[in-house]
Amino acid sequence: MYQYDLNLILNPSLSSEQVAIEKDYIENTVKNAGGEIVGLEELGNRRMAYAIQKEREGYYLYYTIKTSGNPVQSIGDVLRLRDHIRRVQIVKDRPEWKTKKA
C-alpha cells in the first residue's frame, strides 16, 4: 500500500451539515476503493488564486490516505462527479519530501 495526499476544494457556501455529508461520502468512497484514511486536515474557507465556477473562495480538505492500485481512477473519478466538489487532486506521498532542513 502506498500513501497519497487527497486534496479537495468544496463549494464555499455549504452549511456545516452539508460539509459533514460530503466528508462522509469521501470517506465511504476511499473505503470502497480499498483504502484507509490516515489523517484529515480541514482548513475551511480560503481565498483561491483564481475563480472556479465564478467563485473566488473554496472549502479546503486535505486527506492523507493509504491505498493500493490506481487511486486516480478508483477514487478521483468518483469524487469528480459530485456537484459540491470543485477540485480533486491526488498526489503520491514521497519520503524525500519530508526531509528535515539542516
Lowest mean pLDDT among 12-16, 78-82, 88-92, 93-97: 93-97
DSSP letters along 78-98, please?
HHTT-SSEEEEEEEE--GGGG
pLDDT averaged over the chain? 90
Beta bridge pairs of residue 64: 5, 39
What would the mean pLDDT of 9-25 be, rounded to a whole number? 95
Does residue 85 come out as left (phi exceeding 0), alpha (psi in the -120 to 50 range) or beta?
beta
Which pLDDT value is given to residue 100?
Answer: 66
Sign of the C-alpha dihedral computed for residues 9, 64, 2 and 69 taken in this order: negative
- Look at residue 74 in the predicted model and tell me its pLDDT: 85
Q: Give the right CATH number for 2-95 from 3.40.50.300, 3.40.50.2300, 3.30.70.60, 3.20.20.450.
A: 3.30.70.60
Does residue 101 register a pLDDT over 70?
no
Output Rg (C-alpha) for the chain, integer angstroms: 14
| pTM to 2 decimal places | 0.85
